[in-house]
């Protein structure tokens, strides 16, 4: 992919925040054309857009423990992050859980990155009324983090790091460490393998949840399984940390399990 200038598309303007999409552009032409990362990426993204409503249903029914997770995240921010914190939401999606949480506390700045323009337009509505500057970038989050140069205090990624291969996970964690400049917080919420577990066993474990996921239809559950077989590559927590910049930080990583 050739990287060139970027164009900002305003989609909302409020007393406290100006919300826009930032589309990555190719070449030096003045024409606005969104760069795509090849047919496979487009197909995967089209699938995600089709499943967006299913995912919102899953969040609404709390099938993946969003309420508990964002409660823990809020506690961490209140305890450790100053009111002026710059919050980076990697792969923010429609930002509904983040928006609900952040509107109950003080924050200095919010930036959300996601590849789905459909999700970001929903995020713009969810983030309406935030008492701080808000920026939404339509971009591949791994590529965005590789080039990140803006100051940031908190980096949050939830249910997205596992879409990357092992080398991609390590690189993003390195980029997050660099972006924080040796201070601040990098907070991860991801599915993980048990020690010694294989990916196929993890996929089989999810299939056993069908009865508990009664809020979604058989078709929607099957769609989730297809998505996971195509795009989910969880690893053990130890594998993530081994050899990464975070394994060498003075503070030990905090872990919380939801099941």
Residue-wise pLDDT tens digits, 132-174:
999 999 999 999 999 999 999 999 999 999 999 999 999 999 9
Tell me the C-alpha distance between 145 and 142, whole Å. 5
pLDDT per position as a tens digit, 15-54? 555 555 555 433 333 222 222 333 444 455 555 566 788 8
pLDDT at residue 90 tops 70: yes
The 10 Å Cβ neighbour count of residue 2 is 8
Tell me the C-alpha distance between 218 and 21, whole Å. 35
Phi-psi region of 218 (alpha: psi -120 to 50; beta: other; left: phi over 0): alpha
For the chain, give the percent of residues with pLDDT over 90: 66
Q: Which has more pLDDT, 7 or 73?
A: 73
Show me where the domains of the chain are located: 38-248
Tell me the C-alpha distance between 24 and 8, whole Å. 9
**Does domain 38-248 sit in CATH 1.10.10.10?**
no
CA distances from 95 to 62, 124, 233 (A): 15, 8, 23
Q: Is the pTM of this model over 0.85?
A: no
């Amino acid at each position: 992919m050739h990287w060139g200038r970027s164009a900002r598309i305003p989609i909302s303007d409020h007393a406290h925040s100006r919300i826009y999409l930032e589309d990555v552009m190719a070449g030096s032409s003045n024409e606005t054309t969104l760069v795509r990362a090849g047919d496979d990426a487009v197909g995967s993204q089209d699938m995600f857009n089709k499943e967006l409503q299913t995912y919102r249903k899953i969040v609404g029914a709390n099938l993946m423990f969003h309420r508990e997770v964002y409660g823990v995240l809020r506690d961490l921010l209140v305890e450790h992050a100053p009111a002026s914190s710059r919050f980076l939401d990697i792969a923010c999606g429609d930002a509904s859980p983040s928006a609900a949480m952040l509107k109950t506390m003080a924050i200095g700045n919010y930036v959300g990155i996601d590849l789905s323009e459909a999700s970001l337009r929903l995020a713009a509505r969810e983030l309406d009324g935030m008492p701080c500057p808000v920026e939404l970038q339509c971009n591949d989050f791994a590529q965005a983090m590789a080039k990140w140069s803006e100051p940031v205090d908190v980096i949050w990624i939830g249910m997205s790091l596992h879409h990357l291969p092992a080398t991609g996970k390590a690189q993003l964690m390195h980029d997050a460490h660099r972006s924080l400049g040796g201070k601040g917080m990098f907070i991860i919420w991801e599915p993980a393998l048990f020690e010694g577990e294989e990916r196929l066993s993890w996929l089989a474990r999810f299939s056993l949840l069908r009865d508990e996921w009664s809020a979604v239809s058989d078709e929607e559950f099957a769609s989730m399984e297809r998505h996971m077989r195509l795009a989910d590559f969880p690893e053990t927590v130890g594998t993530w940390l081994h050899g990464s910049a975070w394994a060498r930080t003075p503070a030990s990583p905090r872990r919380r399990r939801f099941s």
